Amino acid sequence: MAPPHPTSLVFTVRRRTPELISPAKPTPRELKPLSDIDDQEGLRFQIPVIQFYKYHPSMKRKDPVKVIREALAETLVFYYPFAGRLREGANRKLVVDCNGEGVMFIEADADVTLEQFGDDLQPPFPCLEELLFDVPGSAGVLNCPLLLIQVTRLKCGGFAFALRLNHTMSDAAGIVQFMDAVGEIARGAAALTIPPVWERHVLNARDPPRVTCTHHEYDEVADTKGTIIPLDDMAHRSFFFGPQEINAIRRFLPQHIRCSSSFEILTACLWRCRTIALQPDPSEEMRVICIVNSRSKFNPPLPRGFYGNGFAFPVALTTAEKLCQNPLGYALELVRKAKNDVNEEYMKSVADLMVIKGRPHFTVVRSYLVSDVTRAGFGDVDFGWGKPAYGGPAKGGVGAIPGVASFYIPFRNKKGEEGIVVPVCLPAPAMVRFVKELDKMLKDEKSVAAGEHKSTFITCAL
């Protein structure tokens, strides 16, 4: 008999009372302002991460809860701002009150084995809210723990490490750096390979602030036709893109842009399929927001060890009609241009805009946000039990408006193919159309064989 589909898996988690873990030694008591990139409205939310680890014979006598709890207290000596609380000052400026109150920690046990989750460990995970419990009163942006961590022992001897981060504190690269530090100390290191660097002032607004670049990501767009995605009847699905799938999409591109990165190709494809699936008014403006890491765009680059938010939200935009009726190359050129706009001047211009405009949220109306975490390093975090069977964002569609965001997560499927898994969150009827469009792109060989360059594989659904 085939095992039950993992999403129908139900299990019980027994949790101990949540506790606060403070730094193992006294730490500086001070106020540390966040950068003007960190404290924008669009980052004032909690982001969930989950790592699953298999049983490891060499760790037979070690308890992952005890190992991680102790390593966490030691790591917080170096990363003491995480043990503090956010306060809001004049002009909505966020500051960390480094008071050593601690991060929230939950010890738990689940009556389930890692095998029961199925061969392909990928979001959405069953009973996620059990593996990452939302402690009542803990999820606020201000005056709440900046990290919540739950370590759940599994029946097979493996465990789940789930973390919820206040996004204003760190981006993917930053939180992985912190988790790596916990891992190093858990494995017996006395010092960290990469000491943390605060340096948030590098990403502060200039004096006087001046917006020098175009930032469509912060346009004020009225939601005239109610196209912000509804929250009820949402379908969550994950899609795997290995070399074969990326090459299938690449076939539809003109020669001169076929060498584009997998990120660019996938983003153009998903943006287009998603727009067709949502069936917007043809004249409506559709946006895709690409998260671009700017650490290397500075001269000199941001210091190694910097764990703040170091990215921008550049936007590509066009009408629904142009996006759906033009070949895929049209969307791809727009995505490439948006990504290439990000440089040091662009980041300074964003910081200045935040101060001038009161830290606005990026535009979510008719927007799709994609974040590539394939190089963030979630899959390498090792607490002593080796690399995780899965590591990365716990679900797609997180943020202020569910359904707007997708992550690109590195993944090896059960055939052993390395690729990218993308969790997508859409209203149920749109998800059916989305899958249909995507299937057409991945399967349609006929128009290619006939030498047609026009993308006949999608009949416009507008």
Among 222, 332, 336, 334, which residue's Cα sits nearest to residue 284? 222
382 noted as active-site residue: yes
Q: Give the total residue count for the chain.
A: 462
Kindly name the residue from 36, 38, 39, 167 that is annotated as catalytic: 167
**Residue 212 carries which side chain, given as an amino acid letter?**
T
* Conformation bin of residue 150: beta by default, left when phi > 0, alpha when psi is -120 to 50: beta
The token pair that represents 229 in the structure block: 């995605």
Q: Do β-strands 405-412 and 367-372 pair in parallel, antiparallel, or remain unpaired? A: parallel
What is the side-by-side order of every strand in the sheet holding 94-98? 30-33, 94-98, 85-88
**Residue 110 carries which side chain, given as an amino acid letter?**
A
- Within a 13 Å sphere around the CA of 235, how many CA atoms are in the beta-carbon half? 14
CB contact set of 338 (below 8 Å; sequence gap of 6+): 288, 290, 314, 315, 316
Contacts of 242-246 spanning 24+ positions with Cβ under 8 A: 242/413, 242/417, 242/418, 242/419, 242/420, 243/417, 243/418, 243/419, 244/417, 245/419, 245/442, 246/419
CA 276 to chain centre: 24
Instruction: Give me the phi and psi of 186, to 5 degrees please.
Output: -60, -30
97 noted as active-site residue: no
Among 40, 89, 128, 127, which residue's Cα sits nearest to residue 350? 40
Coil, strand or helix at 418: strand
Q: How many C-beta atoms lie closer than 10 Å to residue 107's C-beta?
A: 20
Instruction: Give me the phi and psi of 181, to 5 degrees please.
Output: -65, -45
State the DSSP H helix or E strand holding residue 264, giving kind and residue range, or none if neither: helix 262-278
Active site residues: 167, 382
